[in-house]
Amino acid sequence: MLEAGAAEAGRANLKKIMADIVDYHSSPEQAAETARDAKVGYLLLNHIVPPLPVPGMEKAFLGGAPTLYDGPLRVAADGDFLSLPAGSHDITVGRRF
């Protein structure tokens, strides 16, 4: 959608960037499939490119990912981190600020 909008606006450089992003970033669905297949305990999506334009867009951004991975799944915000304590299977979610 962003690529098409850049094309309509005559912004060839931005159109190219939007097209290139999918070449070297996973979609939420691709990340969910990988997490499911690897049997990971938590999927925290970060480095969202382009960034979500407004708060509250996480559900739309995730698309079908929640149907592909049934573990904890969320879009990271600045300062989020996961802690994996040694000798445990626990996953602790925290925020730096």
3-class DSSP assignment, residue 25: coil
**pLDDT for the residue numbered 58:** 95
Give pTM, 2 decimals.
0.76
Confidence of residue 66 (pLDDT cuts 50, 70, 90): very high
Predicted confidence at residue 33, as pLDDT, reads 98
| pLDDT exceeds 90 at position 31 | yes
Contacts of 74 (CB under 8 A, 6+ apart): 43, 44, 45, 58
Residues above pLDDT 90, as percent of the chain: 54
pLDDT surpasses 80 at 2? no
